[in-house]
Amino acid sequence: MGRNRKVRRIVGVAAAAMISAGVMGGAAAPRGVAEEICTLPPPGCDAGGATDPAITSPTATKAQLRARCIRKAQTKFGDNRPKKKAAIKKCKKKYKG
């Protein structure tokens, strides 16, 4: 039983090393491949590589922040109805709009 565990461990480490090498750039696509893939008109495929900031923006919208705050309040005050209601009201006031 111990031998099987060692083999699985070695295989796992080897797989992780191969994945790591691929992520670090060992399996990067050739230069021409990226140009051939992009056949969309200019708004969809920018030559400069810039994308729409609304899509890649790491900040969440007010609605997303409000929903996250409400979920957190429901989790935190699940059994305590008055506190949960107050926390949800506070979330709605904080992120209204």
Tell me how many domains the chain contains.
1
- CA angle, 75 then 77 then 81, to 5°: 130
Calculate mean pLDDT across residues 33-40.
54
The parent domain of residue 79 ranges over: 59-97
**pLDDT value, residue 52:** 59
Residue 76, pLDDT above cutoff 90:
yes
What pTM does this model have?
0.42
Specify if 83 maps to a domain: yes
Tens digit of each residue's pLDDT (9 = 90 or more) over 78-95? 999 999 999 999 999 999
> What percent of the chain has pLDDT above 70?
61
DSSP symbol at 38: -
Residue 61, pLDDT above cutoff 60:
yes
Specify if 11 maps to a domain: no
**pLDDT value, residue 18:** 78
Contact between residue 59 and residue 49 where contact means Cβ atoms under 8 Å apart: no
Distance CA 73, CA 76 (A): 5
Closest CA to 73 of 65, 4, 49: 65
